[in-house]
Amino acid sequence: MNGVVSNTVNTQYQRKELTETMGQSEYFVEGLIIPSLGNAREMTVGHPDNAPRGNSPFANPPNYNLQLAIEKGLTTSDAFEEKYLYMQALYRKTFENWLLEVTSLREFNDRLENSGLDFIPVPERRQDFQQRHTSMDLKYVFLANTIPIERLGEDDLALLYSMIQDGRSDITCELTEMVARTFSDVLMAFPHLGDDVGCGFRPSGGGGPPSPNRSIVLVIQEWAFNEEGAFRDSIENNGKRIDYMEELAKEMESVLSEQISHRVIVHVEL
């Protein structure tokens, strides 16, 4: 292999009309969630200079390497395209599924739901980029890491591409093994920085609270407000929920880090 993923589309691939704003698409893989034209700007992770350019809506966030992606045949323009995004979505789906399989993450989410403290999930219209594009069916917890798949080697990229060529989004043993082997390097914020350097992982608020560069970053979030933007409950009850989430986050960090032998950071957001 020459390290370049072919741009040739398998003849089994069918052109399909995507919902909402995607319009006519060269790629369509059922079961994978990628940005639409309406929300792709959020991939800029808060950097206006990385806003979409030319005819492509998908921008170049600061911890992605567009030039490397072009060299590896993952995109052909000055911004990321659907081919890249579907491969990325398949990696995300596989990683999140693996995380649910090998950790107690779902149990922690269920503890929030069954706490009796009246937690409410963030409404879909209020969810940010990363929460909307998660494949995990959790109400209160989501993955904050970005996923620059251009960091993968040629064989791993070829595996992802062969799946989307065939319109497949099923999670295979081969995919799971690859993700478990590579996630530490792929999901770190900046490969040129030390493992413990504090980095922001969120697309808004200046990147969010800093987390160690080489860490899995999860967010616990509930909807604490009413339609007028005020707290929906008493200060006392709201404080109880915040205290509960913060204590749970500490426990999650300890338990999950041990379960995957990798540092896990959990932030609480309202």
| Rounded mean pLDDT, 255-260 | 98
Largest CA distance in the chain: 62
| Rounded mean pLDDT, 125-142 | 86
Asked if residue 106 lies in contact with residue 100, where contact means CB atoms within 8 angstroms, the answer is yes
Percentage of residues of the chain with pLDDT beyond 90: 49
pLDDT tens-place string over residues 73-101: 998 877 778 888 899 999 999 999 999 99
Average pLDDT along the chain: 79
Q: To which H or E segment does residue 235 belong?
A: helix 235-260
| Rounded mean pLDDT, 30-42 | 59
Whether 17 shows a pLDDT value over 80: the answer reads no
Whether 246 shows a pLDDT value over 70: the answer reads yes
